[in-house]
Chains A and B, each alone.
Chain A
Amino acid sequence: DQQVKQNSPSLSVQEGRISILNCDYTNSMFDYFLWYKKYPAEGPTFLISISSIKDKNEDGRFTVFLNKSAKHLSLHIVPSQPGDSAVYFCAAIRYRRNDYKLSFGAGTTVTVRA
């Protein structure tokens, strides 16, 4: 049973424009959310996170928004750059219960066109 869902397998965006990646979750016990980026033949690397007590977290070109009532989060990349072409995974944990096992979505492949 997939508790974290990324319904868009792929996204193509022009360089300089905004990339918006979406993620939904079903388990209301999740209280901390992370985005990971993965290049081919490499392991995932941490990108940005957000606690359920916030609705927005920003780090440079990357912003994550959380809508708890809708159980939805999104990652905005502005402006998109060619180096952003990668697979992006949404993940969730139950931080307050000290349960750090990541539940992952299926990933969204982002392609940034020059």
Chain B
Amino acid sequence: NAGVTQTPKFRILKIGQSMTLQCTQDMNHNYMYWYRQDPGMGLKLIYYSVGAGITDKGEVPNGYNVSRSTTEDFPLRLELAAPSQTSVYFCASSYTDEAFFGQGTRLTVV
């Protein structure tokens, strides 16, 4: 019953540091997504993938990178953390319409 698992749950980064947010799903979904949620805002799509080896930009990709080497994993990389990247990050996966979300990673950049 794992579904979509994200790690870590919380992280504080200093400006300029880098990190990788991990996401794995066990439902054999082809589609995977990374969203960020800022206070009072909906979820904004950062990057998505329609299958292993295929990724594409969403609405707000600047400052992020992704890879999809397997069906299960879809890590999100922040190379040079900036205060504007302080947010809650959600990974999701889907077969088609109904997406399943992880519990989120709360990231603070100071």
User: A residues touching B (Cβ–Cβ < 8 Å)?
Assistant: 2, 4, 6, 9, 32, 34, 41-46, 49, 89, 93, 95, 98, 100-107
Contacts and interface: CB of A to CB of B under 8 A. Distances in A.
Contacts of A6: 42
A102 B94 CA distance: 11
27 contacts: A34-B97, A34-B98, A41-B104, A42-B103, A42-B104, A43-B4, A43-B103, A44-B90, A44-B101, A46-B100, A49-B98, A93-B97, A95-B96, A98-B96, A100-B31, A100-B96, A100-B97, A101-B33, A101-B48, A101-B58, A102-B45, A102-B92, A104-B42, A104-B43, A106-B40, A106-B41, A106-B42
Most-contacted residue by chain A among B33, B96, B99, B103 (CB, 10 A): B99
Given A49-B97, A95-B97, A101 B45 contact: yes
Contacts of B104: 41-43
B71 to A, nearest CB: 16
Contacts of A107: 42
B43 A41 contact: no
Interface in B69-109: 90, 92, 94, 96-104
A107 B94 CA distance: 21
Interface residues of B, number: 24
Given A44-B43, A44-B90, A107-B42, A100 B103 contact: no
A100 B42 contact: no
A98 B103 CA distance: 26
Contact of A45 (B31, B35, B41, B101): B101
Nearest to B31: A100
A89 B41 CA distance: 10
A110 to B, nearest CB: 15
Contacts of A2: 42
Nearest to A42: B103
Contacts of B94: 100
A100 B90 CA distance: 16
